[in-house]
Structure 1
Amino acid sequence: MAANTVRQERFIDLLSERAPVLSRWSYSPDEPYSITVEFQTSPDDWITWVFARDLLLAGLQAPAGVGDVRFVPFEDEGDRLLLFQVESDQGRASWFLNRDDAEEFATMTLDAVPVGAESEHFDMDALIAGLTDV
């Protein structure tokens, strides 16, 4: 999974019926601590979730996340999958991702900004200026 690609994943709804959903995963070295995922809800509408890159990295190894975003790696009949769950006050959704694709995306983020080098790419002064500019 490369940055800014569109993927079709398997979506599980509340009745355990499967339906396709498009998602866009992106990572920017300008925001090295976060990953953005967008889900298409209609032809012109996307819902955006932003979460810590460390959460995805941890979730590829073991269940991770205690808040609104969770990952659980597992195997099903030889398929390496990653359960991706999001939850808000408006509902919850779960997707099964191909874990190899998720690992490829994670590797791409690490190639762009290695763990521990995030502060070299993050402009804290610009963030503070944006927050205090009222």
Structure 2
Amino acid sequence: MHRDQSPLRARSAPELVPSLYLPIDQMIDEFTRQPITAKFRFDPDMPAVITVEFVAERGPGLVWRIGRELLHRGLTAMSGCGDVRMWPMAPGERRSSWLLLESQEVEALFEVPIPPLAQWLDTTYRIISAEAEMAGLDWDEFLMDLLDGPEAAAG
């Protein structure tokens, strides 16, 4: 099957799930928060991965690709390991989750409000269910995009 005729392309379109622009807080230290915007993007051609761009007020943004399931589970329980982890705040506090991103260059902790992210993720699952997200996936292209990013795939 030609990649332009994949079942994922045929049954959905990116505009069915608009990007979510979500105000979040980056924890600079234990007492200091910096408000920023996170842009969550869902691509029906890669439904298992959510692209999150942390939009800085000044300077370049930071882009991470995070598993949709990791984000979904992180709203209610500890999720992820290694470079990306997410877990809900303690009961009684605000309805938020902590999102921790770590790499050689970056370590960042964000407070993410649960209700708008949960609603947006539910919309993505209505477009492509968790059970169907791997159907019709071109694994070679998926891994190239995931590991190298779109710039390498285009080159």
Superposition TM-score tier, normalisation by shorter sequence: 0.7 to 0.9
User: Any idea what SS the aligned residue of 2:35 has?
Assistant: strand
* Alignment check: 8 A CA contact 1:12 1:95 kept: yes
Q: 1:91 aligns with which of 101, 106, 115?
A: 106
How many angstroms apart in 2 are the aligned matches of 1:70 and 1:128? 21
Unaligned runs of 5+ in 2: 1-16, 146-151
- Aligned equivalent of 2:123: 108
Structure with greater strand share of residues: 1
User: Any idea what SS the aligned residue of 1:61 has?
Assistant: coil
User: Any idea what SS the aligned residue of 2:123 has?
Assistant: helix
How many angstroms apart in 1 are the aligned matches of 2:18 and 2:102? 24
Indicate whether 1:123 and 2:138 are aligned: yes
Number of aligned residue pairs: give it.
131
How many angstroms apart in 2 are the aligned matches of 1:18 and 1:76? 20
* Alignment check: 8 A CA contact 2:36 2:57 kept: no
Question: Percent sequence identity over matched residues?
Answer: 24
How many angstroms apart in 1 are the aligned matches of 2:72 and 2:144? 30
How many angstroms apart in 2 are the aligned matches of 1:59 and 1:129? 26
Change (3 A) 1:28 1:128: closer
- Aligned equivalent of 1:70: 85
State TM-score, norm by structure 1. Answer: 0.82
- Aligned equivalent of 2:4: none
Structure with greater helix share of residues: 2
Indicate whether 1:23 and 2:29 are aligned: no
Change (3 A) 1:115 1:17: same
Change (3 A) 1:27 1:121: farther
How many angstroms apart in 2 are the aligned matches of 1:56 and 1:28? 15
State TM-score, norm by structure 2. Answer: 0.72
